[in-house]
Amino acid sequence: MYLQVVLSLLCAGLSLVRSAPAPTHDKAAVSIEARGTTYPSTSGRLFNIAGKVEYFSGSFKRALGKQTVVDTYVGTNAWYLGHLTSNADVDQAMSQIAASGFKTARVWGFGTTNNAATETNVYYQVLNSTGQYFNMDSNTGIGRLDYALSSAKKYGVQLVLPLLNNFDALGGINTYTNAYGGNHTSFYTDAKSQAAYKNYIKFIVNRYKTSTAIFSWELCNEPRCSGCASSVITNWATSISAYIKSLDCNHMVSLGDEGWLQPSFSGGDGTYAYSGYEGVDFVKNLAISTIDYGTFHMYPDQWGYNYSWGNTWITQHNAIGKAAGKPVVLEEYAAPTAALQEQYFPQWQSTIVSKTSIASDAYWQFATSFADGTNPYDNYAIYYNATAGSESANLGTAHAKTMAAKQATASL
């Protein structure tokens, strides 16, 4: 109750005394967009999404002046959009995402290096022994994420922004431990690492918190604390999600986890996904009051399961979402070959549509052929192709239309 009161006061614009943030060298930690009129929000187990000035068919829709609410939708993953250096490439991908019927795109909101002098990728911050620095350059720094947001707004797509990476690519947890000591598992409780991470959150959230091109903030892409008690990540998620809410009352917050379940889960068999080994408890994390919706991922080939098991994983998380009364999103799923994608995606998508109230799903990952040869993809990529009967049209666009036409069913 105290937390809810504090957040309410902050949302009302009242100031409360907090400890000083970590030092930073930044002169532009300000919002880049004037405040909009509507933001996505939860509605029971579904989402309210303000759309274009037109009607969309959906599981639940109603007119709000000149705006339309769409609750069940399909998104995609395009992590690279804030790390491309060509505006034309960003616009090409974003326009094709919109043309596919995808309402959201999950884009990395992180990019950290420990050594700017040797960094060859776009990066948003530097962490090292001399301090914490934000890269304000329009070509190599935060300007690239600025452009991704402006392109998303132009094409009517909303972005999910994870603020940290569990893995090393583009500067994950490792860049914090490199700068402040400790290791991957101690990161979640290390005071120096957490102060720097919260300072980065403050920089990003304050910059974009009035943007209606933001769908939600995510604490981390696939957080793990292997071998830890699940309370470590649950406590961390409780603290960090409350901090984000104290900065931004407009947008939703999710954890960004893979949906791991504990041995105590009644539907589990003790194998990897149900072992608790990665230190994540999906059930308890979904119960956090400042986590608006749940996320889970699905990679049967990487986790040691057959592809048909994916249907079980989907229905289990749907049941957990139903018990919690919150939306649940399958925000990553994949198969490593086109043949496997064409065989199993329709099965998984059919389960989502006909047997669950999963609010949204998003395959990994959306791809397009850039004229300059840029190729940020892995072997899970599905290339955009508007031709009827193509993989993209069948597994992306057609599914988006089916989800848009889905009718809400309280029993699912």
- Which residues are known to be catalytic? 222, 332
226 Cβ contact partners less than 8 Å away, ≥ 6 residues apart: 184, 185, 277, 278, 279
208 Cβ contact partners less than 8 Å away, ≥ 6 residues apart: 31, 32, 33, 149, 161, 214
C-alpha atoms less than 13 angstroms from C-alpha of 116 in its C-beta half-sphere: 17
Contact 309, 347 (CB under 8 A): no
Kindly compute the dihedral angle of the four CA atoms of residues 164, 170, 173, 178, in this order, to the nearest 10 degrees.
Answer: -140
Angle at the Cα of 231 from the Cα atoms of 227 and 232, rounded to 5 degrees: 65
Contact 238, 270 (CB under 8 A): no
- Secondary structure, 3-state, 190-209: CHHHHHHHHHHHHHHHHHHC
